[in-house]
Structure 1
Amino acid sequence: MKKILLTLIIALVTMSISAQTVSKRTAEFNLEKKVAIQGYDPVAYFKQGKALKGKKELIATYEGVTYQFSSVANKDLFVKNAASYEPQYGGWCAYAMGSSGEKVEINPETFKIIDGKLFLFYNAFFNNTLKSWNKDEVSLKAKADANWKKILK
């Protein structure tokens, strides 16, 4: 009886933490019309080496965040290992996250893969933040990592 009660308590706590995580992610991630990366396929950055627009009928949701895919194969890869394809910093501009801790919109076609992770950048009005990022990547990445952890608390 004690084992059953303990198992139930652990299950309830786990479900509560999971619900909090989903809620926090959907509140803090860069979601346009409830879709991440403005509908671009997160797997395409890695497998095709470029930004490809996803299709509305090819979707998958990971911890409350919905992604679109350009192909069934990319969707299947994502479903098998979603965490490895998600953009860093909730899909916000990596440079802004590092330089000021702000959540700034991105241009989904301006990206960089670093150590197997996807980083997205703002690029408009003669301001390509990827260029600025490249000048001080190590420092900006460390600051962005710390700033994003504060946001997700």
Structure 2
Amino acid sequence: MIRRQTSRFTVSSIFYYLVLGSLALAIGGCTSHSEIVDIEGTAASQESIAQPKTEQIQDTQVHLNLDEAGIALRGYDPVSYFTEAEPVKGQEAHSFTWNDATWHFATAENRDLFSNEPEKYAPANGGYCTFGIVLKKKFDGDPQVWSVIKSRLYVFLNEDVQQKFLQDSAGNLQKVSANWPVIQFKSPGEL
């Protein structure tokens, strides 16, 4: 009897880890601890919990970094970055659907603020890692590794990647502005 052995790794998952490894090599000279500095004046220390990107629920949602349940920002309240100067986990009881995604909020007041001005509070680049966009890639953005720059929320894969981005935030933001419209509706596997 011949046994067929199957692999649980797909071509797209192998590609993802190759790209992730390449990014790790590119930032090898960065420090392992970082402090996030809001360019508008607030500083906050963050811990990194970089996790691999999950598959999108629908191909039509590739412009957003969602978890398996279609939740944006891993369930963190996007308004809290501006009102509390830190990420606060949202609650399902205070959820709102916008842009084909479910957003969770810590309070009904935050939900209402978001529903009135979602573009003001939603993370830039669909919640993907901002430095990944510089490289024309889509990597998972960790909501606990963030910066608010010019009143926009940006999330990063981890603290090392964030520090690399902040070394030239003005130049990197120009690259993000040029690259995001080109890759916005492409899946991470297409890049």
Whether the TM-score (by the shorter chain) exceeds 0.5 is yes
SS at match of 1:103: coil
Correspondence for 1:89: 125
Structure richer in helix, relative to its length: 1
Query: Does residue 72 of structure 1 match 2:108?
Result: yes
- Taking only aligned residues, the RMSD between alpha carbons, in angstroms, comes to 1.6
TM-score, normalised to structure 1, is: 0.77
Correspondence for 1:30: 65
In structure 1, distance between residues paired with 2:179 and 2:62: 16
In structure 2, distance between residues paired with 1:40 and 1:72: 14
Query: In 2 relative to 1, CA 66–25 (structure 1 residues): closer, same or farther, beyond 3 Å?
Result: farther
Deviation at 1:135, TM superposition (A): 0.4
SS at match of 2:62: helix
Contact 1:24 1:152 in 2 (8 A): no
Structure richer in strand, relative to its length: 1
In structure 1, distance between residues paired with 2:102 and 2:86: 20
Correspondence for 1:141: 173
SS at match of 2:89: coil
Contact 1:25 1:63 in 2 (8 A): no
TM-score, normalised to structure 2, is: 0.63
Gaps of 5+ in 1: 1-22
Gaps of 5+ in 2: 1-57, 186-191
Correspondence for 1:8: none
Correspondence for 1:61: 97
In structure 2, distance between residues paired with 1:26 and 1:136: 30
Percent identity between the two aligned chains: 28
Correspondence for 1:18: none
Correspondence for 1:130: 162
What amino acid maps onto 1:69 in structure 2? F
Deviation at 1:128, TM superposition (A): 2.1
What amino acid maps onto 2:163 in structure 1? K
Deviation at 1:42, TM superposition (A): 0.3
Query: Does residue 112 of structure 1 match 2:112?
Result: no
SS at match of 1:49: coil
Query: In 2 relative to 1, CA 86–24 (structure 1 residues): closer, same or farther, beyond 3 Å?
Result: farther
Higher relative contact order (CA 8 A, sep 6+): 2
Contact 1:25 1:65 in 2 (8 A): no
In structure 1, distance between residues paired with 2:81 and 2:113: 13
